[in-house]
Structure 1
Amino acid sequence: MHDPQAALGTAEDILRRAGAVPQLTSIPTVDELNAGLERLRSEHPDLISSERIGTSRLGEPIWLHHVGTGRRSALIVGGVHPNEPIGSLTILHLVEQLASDEAFRAGCDTAWHIVPCADPDGMRLNEGWFADPSDRSLYTREFFRPAPDEQVEWTFPFAYKDAYFDAMMPETVALARAIDLTAPDLYVPLHNSEGGGAYFYLSHAVPALYPLLHEITTSCGVPLHTGEAEGAHFTVLADAIYEMSTLQDAYDWSEEAGLDPYPPGSAGDASTSYTRRYGTLSLIAELPQFGDPAADDASLTETVHRDALRRCGERLVETGRILTELIAAVDPHVRMDTPLLRAARVFSPMATGAGKADLLRAEKEDGRLATVAELSSLDGVVNLHRLRWGGMLRRALTAEVAAGVAAPEVRRAAAEIQTIFDGWLAEARAGGDTPPLPLAQVVGVQYGAILAAHAQLERP
């Protein structure tokens, strides 16, 4: 039991707060998120203020809320990837706690700045699964993730070797404005993963933080991700904790591996790179929406790791081939230029690229055995590429059919991708149960991680 009277900002206090998130059953829509924050602002007008910092491409206002005052500045941003909305719940809980708990607010000695949703247009394309985020089939059918050059998080200016990007979207300009206005000591863009376990990124090594991040995750009943990292070039700081890689690092790693370091569809730098000019501590807490009992199982299997990598690579290459060939066949006949189709065009060949990277890694591996977590995460990567990109292509072509403007070639392709997608979904479900994690638990970890990182601002 943790002492409810523990001093503010101590490990005991942070663990208690992380474990006290109330039960949650749904994710707020953009309108519900804005309404919730407006309600809190109207109830606490002397504490919470708001300003408009930008406008989305479809004309949606982008807001920056300010909560309290203090010596330090913290910027929390939701919706940087609109398919990752757990942060909406984290934001509502954080602002409610700051508004209702004067001792907590004063103890933080911080001006908190909140961008509730950096990409409202993209988030609205995911709202079809928000009312029941526990339904994974519904999630895959209503999923949307923008093409890289349409993602707020990855469209900051970048110039390195043969790579160059300066096509900042209005939403990206708004986020840059929020960073410049607040000059944050702590910056947390709110992300979440799809399945597996929790993992974290830090802008730089903070050894004192690692045990607390692990303890928060365990105390909230969320497994740690101990399988494959998202990229082979990431520096491991501790179990499930990585140092944020720069885009230059990723470029160099790909170049040295013989891969195209900046393939078609690549975009710009990340918001966390932009904050480096302020000496900011940046944290990303990736929380899984769906659980994986094997996420933290380090026991050895009888499968050689390089064989598992090779198998994963082959399946990804085949996935990319199927999708890219289907898109190439239908592209001359489509009439509707939608975000879903643009994303499917870019991400489908990325499945091939990811597969080739795994095949290259397999060639350099020794004969060690894979862990249960590694095998599970490799299967998860294949399912992710199949169901995300195949699902978005299915939505794009089905929308054209439903609008009554589909050419015969588009109708045939829509039926074909529906059959392929249904088969991939059935295969993924046959691979094992992936139960949804209670929202209160994953929000608790994300909220607790913010408080834990904030507590490190006091230390040199």
Structure 2
Amino acid sequence: MLKLRSYDQIVEELDRLKDIGAELYSVGKSGLGREIYLVTIGKGARRALIVCRQHGNEPTSTEAMMEYAEELLGREDLLEKVRVSIIPLANPDGTELYTRICSKGRTSIITSFIARSVKPYMGDINRDHKKKKFPETRAIAKAIEQIKPDVLLDLHNFFPNFEYLMLRRPVHDFCPSISTNPKIKPEIMRKNVKICKIAIEAVKRIGGNPAEINGLWPSIYRRLLMPSEKVLDTYYSLNHNIPSATFEAIGGFSLCSRRMEKGKILHKASTSAVIEELAEDFEEFR
């Protein structure tokens, strides 16, 4: 079963990936001075950036993409076409705090929410992409400026009982979402939708139960937050014309190995499907 790893353990794994062929460098430091690493694999012209764990209490994207990165190193055919970059820990301070909370058996919605934010600012990275007050958001911006991705994916987890408690509907295990900002160019919005549809089909193929696009969230949330330029996918779709989507998988907020393992599998399936499509149908993402 999936187990949480500390920041130092993940950095050790990144160093190992570097030793077997990946590129690795820092794009900045967190509020408490931890390096924010970018790992890149492939030499192709088609570029993707995957951002993991903006919220420290949402661990499965990190584990999924670390595993996916190693698998990519064996895909020479794919790597001739694509260049995949991953920020495995966008919020290393929240990550480390959440790992310590879990190791002491103190997981709850409250303690988990504390680890969601960046330290020492007590703010949400994914509400700071317009102003870039936090060093973590500036690190992400630096990576995007350097890579100039054709596709940008933001990976998250959601509370497994959210739908049942709040919406009284059958619980899904995966939900892709895109910005609802009406100022995004229609061509970019079309590509955003395409990315989500690819992910939905990939999750269905492995027996997952995906929600429709933006289907996890109440309508008031879709109206008020999802158009906001503070959020990663909205900001870069709107201001940089980068096709972008957010993937939410089960496994966040409370430590449950079974849910985390499932979320990891869903993140790998959905993300890898988008990368495969990027390699084979590049014009759709240009």
Q: Which TM-score band applies after superposition, normalised by the shorter structure?
A: 0.7 to 0.9
Matched ranges for 1:374-453 at <5 A: 437-453=258-274
Report the equivalent of 2:123.
150
How far, CA to CA, are the matches of 2:71 and 2:202 in structure 1? 18
User: What amino acid maps onto 1:65 in structure 2?
Assistant: V
Highest RCO, 1 vs 2 (Cα 8 Å, sep ≥ 6) = 2
SS of structure 2 residue aligned to 1:114: strand
Change (3 A) 1:140 1:231: closer
- Establish whether residue 76 from structure 1 lines up as the match of residue 50 from structure 2: yes
Tell whether 2:34 aligns with 1:60.
yes
Which of 128, 131, 135 is the matching residue for 1:170? 135
Identify the residue that residue 25 of structure 1 maps to in structure 2.
2
**Alpha-carbon distance in 1 for matches of 2:205, 2:123:** 37
State whether structure 2 residue 233 is matched by structure 1 residue 272. yes
Q: How far 1:437 moved relative to its partner?
A: 3.8
1:230 match: 217
Match of 2:184? none
In 1, distance between residues paired with 2:159 and 2:222? 22
Kindly tell me: are residues 55 and 222 of structure 1, through their superposed partners in 2, closer, same or farther at Cα, counting changes over 3 Å?
A: same
Map Cα deviations across residues 10-62 of structure 1 (whole Å, 9 max, x no partner).
Answer: xxxxxxxxxxxxxx421222111111111111122xxx222221111111111
Q: What's the counterpart of residue 110 of structure 1?
A: 82
Deviation at 1:139, TM superposition (A): 4.7
Match of 2:226 in 1: 245
Paired residue secondary structure (1:180): helix
Give the secondary-structure state (helix, strand or coil) at the position aligned to 1:230: coil
Within a 5 Å distance, the mapping from 1:178-189 to structure 2 comes to 178-189=143-154
* DSSP-derived class of the 1:450 partner: helix
Counterpart AA for 1:119: N
Return closer, same or farther for 1:202/1:455 CA change in 2, 3 Å cut-off: farther
1:120-152 superposed Cα distances (whole Å, 9 cap, x missing partner): 1111111035569xx8x7354741222897222
Contact kept in structure 2, 1:29 and 1:127, CA below 8 Å: yes
The whole-number CA distance in structure 1 between the counterparts of 2:257 and 2:248 is 15
* Counterpart in the other structure of 2:175: 199
Identity among equivalent positions (%) equals 21
Q: What is the aligned partner in structure 1 of residue 164 from structure 2?
A: none
Question: What is the CA-CA distance between 1:235 and the residue it aligns to?
Answer: 6.5
Quote the Cα distance in structure 2 between the aligned partners of 1:33 and 1:274: 28
CA distance in 2, matches of 1:65, 1:435: 27
SS of equivalent residue, structure 1 residue 174? helix
Q: Compared with structure 1, are the counterparts of its residues 435 and 63 closer, same or farther at alpha carbon in structure 2 (3 Å cutoff)?
A: closer
Tell me if the contact between 2:233 and 2:246 (Cα under 8 Å) persists in the aligned partners: no
1:284 partnered with 2:258: no
In 2, Cα distance between the equivalents of 1:43 and 1:211? 33
Superposed, 1:329-408 pairs within 5 Å as: none
Q: Using the alignment, how far apart are the partners of 2:42 and 2:93 within structure 1?
A: 29
1:225 CA displacement: 4.2
* Structure 1 residue 170: Cα displacement: 1.2
Distance 1:212 1:115, change over 3 A: closer
Counterpart contact for 2:250–2:262, Cα < 8 Å: no
For these two proteins, the number of residue pairs brought into alignment is: 253
Residue 95 (structure 2) aligned to one of 106, 116, 123: 123
User: How do residues 243-322 of structure 1 correspond to structure 2 at under 5 angstroms?
Assistant: 245-247=226-228, 269-276=230-237, 277-289=239-251
Q: Secondary structure at the match of 2:208?
A: coil
Task: Give 1:35's aligned residue.
Answer: 12
CA distance in 2, matches of 1:149, 1:140: 16
Q: Give, as a single letter, the amino acid of the residue that structure 2 aligns with 1:274.
A: Y
CA offset digits 1:82-125 (Å, max 9, x no partner) = 1111111112112101112323433xx11111212111111111
Contact (CA 8 Å) 2:53, 2:59: kept in 1 or not? yes
Looking at structure 1, the residues matched to 156 and 50 of structure 2 have their Cα atoms a distance apart, in angstroms, of: 11
Compared with structure 1, are the counterparts of its residues 53 and 211 closer, same or farther at alpha carbon in structure 2 (3 Å cutoff)? closer
Matched to 2:209, the amino acid is P
The answer to whether the 8 Å contact 1:76/1:190 transfers is yes
Whether the 8 Å contact between 2:200 and 2:270 is mirrored in structure 1 is no
Q: Tell which deviates more after alignment, 148-157 or 209-218.
A: 209-218
Greater Cα offset, 205-214 or 94-103: 205-214
CA contact 2:60–2:157 (8 Å) conserved in 1: yes
Hey, which of these two has a bigger chunk of helix by percent?
1
Q: Give the TM-score of the pair, scaled to structure 2.
A: 0.75
Provide the residue aligned with 1:400 in structure 2. none
| 1:123 counterpart SS class | helix
The DSSP-based 3-state class of the residue aligned with 1:112 is: strand
TM, length-normalised to structure 1: 0.49
Shift in CA distance, 181/31, structure 1 to aligned 2, threshold 3 Å: same
